Chains A and B, each alone.
Chain A
Amino acid sequence: MSRFTDLFMGMLGAAPKKPEKVSEKVQQIMFLKYEDKDRYIKEKLHAREHHAISHKWRNRRWAVLIATNLLFVFSFWLDIQILEGALTASRFVGFHLIDLNSALQVMLAHKHVIVNLFIGTFTVFLLWVLLGGRSFCSWVCPYHLLAEWTEALHLKLVDKKIVTDHQFHRGTRTVFWILFALLAVVTGYTVFETLSPTGILSRALIYGPGLALAWVFLLLLFEVFWSRRAWCRYVCPIGLTYGAVGTLSPLQIGYHVEHCFHEGDCRKVCLVPHVLDVTVKGRAAEESMGLGPDCTRCGLCVDTCPTGALRFEVKGLSKLL
C-alpha cells in the first residue's frame, strides 16, 4: 500500500506498520548516524544542551485560537459584524462560512441543500484544504484549548500515579463518525450537534452560558481522571471530517530523519502520537516525510524537538525556494 493509503488508514484507526522498503538514502543516513556510538551520544547531548525550550508555535496557536473565537464574540457584542454567527456557521464580512461536519449533519438529517449552505461549505472546504484540515482542531476549536489545559492536569496526576490513562482503540472515532452519520439520516435530527462541545462552547461564548456547559465540564473531568484527551482522540467526528479534507493539504509538518535522535519527546506531547510513528528508529522510509492527515498541525512537536527534525512546511514550496 502507498504511504498515502497507510496514513489514511492510520487516521481511521489502523496500527502503524514498519515500512516494507527503506530508501537507500535513509539506509545511508541511519548507517552514518549509528556508525560511531560515542559520537552519536555526544551529539545528542550537545543538541539537548543547546535546545532552548520554546513555546513559539503553541503561543502563536493559542493567540490565533483565542483571537478567532473573540472575533465571533465581539462581532456580536460590539456589533462590529466582521464574523457573525458561531463556529457551526457564520458570515465573514458577508461571505458564508459553514463548518464541514455541521453541514454534513444537516445535509444528512434534512436531505436538502440550499445554495447558501453549499457555498458556505465549499468555501470552508477550500480554506481547510489550504490550511491543513485538522488545523481546525488545534488552531480554532475552543474545546481543544480547554482540553489542552486539563490535559496538563491529567499528566500531573499520572506523574503522581494518582490516575492512569485508559486508552481506547483509535478506530472508535471512525465508528462514531459512521454512527452519527447514520443517526442523522435515520432520526432526521442532527444528533451529534446535541453533544458537540465545539458547538456548545462556541455558542456559550457568543450568546451566553447555559446548562449545556455541564456536559462539557463532565467531558473534561472524564479526560482528567480516566482517559487522556478522550473526546478529540476517540470520539469527535469533526476531527475525522477535517482530517479527510486535510489529506489533500499542502500545509504539513515535515519530518527529516537525518536530524532525528529517535528519542520520542515529540510523541509524548502529541495529541495523535501515531502520526509520529515515523520518528521511531527504523520506521522512516524516506529522507523527509509529511506526518499525514490526522496531524492537527499544532506544532507542539516542532517546539519540543531539540534538533529541528520536525518543521512546518508547505508541500512543493520548500523545493521551489
Chain B
Amino acid sequence: MSETKARPATSIEKAQKARRRFLQSVGLTAGVVGLSLLGYIPVVDARPPRLRPPGALNESDFLSSCIKCGQCVQVCPVQAIKLADIGDGFGLGVPYIDARAQACDFSCDAVQCILACPTGSLTYKKPDFLNIRDGAPLAAAPILKAKENDPEPTLNLKERIGVARLARPESCLAVQGKGFKGPARGAAFTGELRYMAVDRWKPVPVREHPYDLELCDLCVRECPVKGAIELRPVKGADGVERMTPTVLEPCVGCGVCEMMCPPEPAAIVIDPQAVWKA
C-alpha cells in the first residue's frame, strides 16, 4: 500500500520538474532568438551605409552571402578592409572600408579581395539572377593610371562601390585657389598609397611623400582611375570662375580622393553604395 501511495507523489514532482525544465527551455529559446534579432537594429536605423570592398554585391545580398572570414582583409596590401563590430548588427564581422583612414588604392592591380572571397560576396561577375542597380555598372572597364602603359591597363571591375562628391566646396583648397605644401594628411597620418615613382608594388605611408603644389589637386593627382575626376573651371554663385574638382562617370568610389583631401573634415567624400547619376 505504502508503495502505491508513494508513487504518485514522486511522479507529480517529476512532472513538475519536467514542466519547469520545459518552460525554462522555452525561455532560453525565446531569449536567444530575441537577442539574435537585435541584429536588425542597424538595418532599420537609417545610418549612412558602409563603403564595402570592390566587387561587393548589393548591400542585402552582401550581408546574406558574406561568411565573415576576413580573407579579404588578409590579402589587402594597404589594409584598407576592416571587419565591422557588434554595432553593425547583422553586419558583424562583415568587411568595410573607412576611406578617410585608408582608402582602397588598387595597388594590388587584380582586386585581390575579390579573388580571396570564398562565397562570391565580392565578385568579378554577378550571377544573372542578382539585381543590378541603375547607375552602378561602369560604362567601361576602369583604366588604372598605374598600369596605363601595360598591355592590359584595365581593372577587372564591373560596378562602382560608391561615388565621390565634393561635399564641402567651401573648404576645398582648389576652389579657394590655394596651393598645398607638406604631407597630405599631416605627419601623424598612417594611411598608405602606391606611388609609381617610388615603388610599383609597395605602397608607402602618405606622410613620407610630401607635396609642394601651386594649386592643390591631390584628389585628381592621386586618383588611381583614369578620367574619374578632374579640375574644371566652374562658375560660382558670385559669377567668379574657380577650379573645382569634378567627378566623372569612371569614378569607382575607391575613396583615395577622400583619404588624400587635406582639410579636416574632407572637402571631397565618397557616398558609399551610391550610383552614377548623369
Binding site for B on A (CB under 8 A): 75-76, 84-86, 88-91, 96, 98-99, 102-103, 106, 109-110, 112, 114, 116-117, 120, 166-169, 171-172, 175-176, 179-180, 183, 188-195, 199-200, 203, 206-207, 210-212, 214-215, 230, 234-235
Say whether B71 contacts A84, CB under 8 Å.
yes
Question: When the two chains form their complex, are residues A191 and B71 in contact, meaning their CB atoms are under 8 A apart?
Answer: no
CA distance A27 to B18 in the complex (A): 33
Given contacts A96-B118, A179-B29, A210-B86, contact A89 B71 (CB under 8 A): yes
Q: Which of A112, A183, A199 contacts B129 (CB 8 A)?
A: A112
Contact of B37 among A103, A168, A191 (CB under 8 A): A191
B193 interface hit (Cβ, 8 Å): no
Is B198 on the interface with A (CB-CB < 8 A)?
no
Residues of chain B touching chain A, judged by Cβ–Cβ distance below 8 Å, are 21-22, 24-25, 28-29, 32-33, 35-37, 39, 60-61, 63-71, 73-75, 82-83, 85-87, 89-90, 92-93, 116, 118-120, 127, 129-130
27 pairs from A and B in contact (CB 8 Å cutoff): A76-B74, A84-B74, A85-B69, A89-B69, A90-B71, A106-B119, A112-B65, A112-B120, A112-B127, A112-B129, A116-B118, A116-B120, A117-B119, A168-B21, A172-B29, A175-B29, A176-B29, A179-B33, A190-B64, A191-B39, A192-B36, A194-B86, A194-B92, A203-B83, A207-B70, A207-B83, A210-B83
CA separation between A103 and B33, bound complex, in Å?
A: 20
Secondary structure type dominating chain A contacts: helix
**B33 and A203 contact, CB distance less than 8 A:** no
* Contact status of A194 and B118, CB under 8 A, knowing A76-B74, A88-B67: no
Interface centre among A98, A117, A171 (most CB of B within 10 A): A117
User: Which of B39, B64, B92, B119 interacts with A116 by CB under 8 Å?
Assistant: B119
- Interfacial chain B residues near A212, Cβ < 8 Å: 85-86, 92-93
Chain B residues with CB below 8 A from A179, complex form: 29, 33
Cβ of B70: which chain A residues have Cβ within 8 Å of it? Answer: 85-86, 203, 206-207
